[in-house]
Amino acid sequence: MKYKYGRILAVSVVLILLMATVAGGAKAVIRQVKVAYRGITIYVNGQPVDSPVEPFILVDEKRTMVPIRFVSEALGKQVVWDSQASAIYIGEPPAGTTVEKLPSDSFRFIDDMKVIRNVGPFYQQKTKPFAIAGRLFSHGVAVEIDEKERNKAEVVLDLNGQYSYMAGYIGVEDETRNSSGSFILSVYGNDVELYRSHQIKPSDYPFPVSLGNLENIKRLTIRVEWQPGGIGDYSRVIAALANVKFYRK
């Protein structure tokens, strides 16, 4: 049986931790697998929903993998990870189990974060969702940059050490899908570079970005830099940070 890929974003080798229960506790077993990203969209009750982690396909096993917490909570079921027992509880845990539940406000979208400085400026989409390669996102911020006037833009967020990690997507908004430009996104925590993307071009699938170890970060700077992208009708590009969430400690 062959996969009928419309367009594969990337096929890469990743490390998946498989938790195997053994005497004396849980042991992590590392296995290398091939995965394919196809810009998969999840629908719940007929409505598209934005996942903080992009679904992917296990190529050899022909299985589609989706984030269990995201799907379960979209269906109204809370998910709790019990690190001591290496167990995942969907809904209520077994009787007699004591685990710490996540608060209902365990994350904030980037468009709800406190902003210290905004050069660009970055803006929220008020009238319609952001679109990246045809995929719609109801939350996020974006900034328009061009080759001549605004070749760099940045926003500084006040984390105040209250968040543990961020996750979301970046891409060129479809309004500028015919641009000759592209961009690179970099993230700085307390003025130290924590992340730098590859070149993000028009019509690329939404690229998943995640960043952990933010517990001691007070100021997070997100910077977008103009890059020449190739042949296009104009030299401006809208860089979108879509469905970016900051998870509390």
Q: How confident is the model at residue 83 (pLDDT cuts 50, 70, 90)?
A: low
Asked whether residue 28 carries a pLDDT value surpassing 50, the answer given is yes
Does this model's pTM top 0.85? My answer is: no
Residues 213-218, mean pLDDT to the nearest whole number: 92
DSSP string covering the chain: -----S--SEEEEEEEEEEEEETTEEEEEEEEEEEEE----EEETTEEE--SS--EEETTTTEEE--HHHHHHHTT--EEEETTTTEEEESSPPTT---PPPPTT-EEEGGGS-EEEEES--EE--SS-EEETTEEESSEEEEEEESSS-SEEEEEEE-TT-EEEEEEEEEE-GGGTTBSEEEEEEEEETTEEEEE---B-TTPPPEEEEE---TT-SEEEEEEEEEE-SS-SBSEEEEEEEEEEEEE-
Asked whether residue 150 carries a pLDDT value surpassing 80, the answer given is no
pLDDT (0 to 100) of residue 96? 73
- For the chain, domain boundaries: 10-90, 107-248
Average pLDDT over the chain, rounded to whole? 80
Question: What CATH fold (topology level) applies to the domain 107-248?
Answer: Jelly Rolls (2.60.120)
Which of 3-7, 153-157, 191-195, 231-235 has the least mean pLDDT? 3-7
Asked whether residue 196 carries a pLDDT value surpassing 90, the answer given is yes
pLDDT (0 to 100) of residue 43? 80
Read off the pLDDT of residues 59-82 as tens digits, 9 standing for 90 and up. 888 888 887 766 776 676 767 767
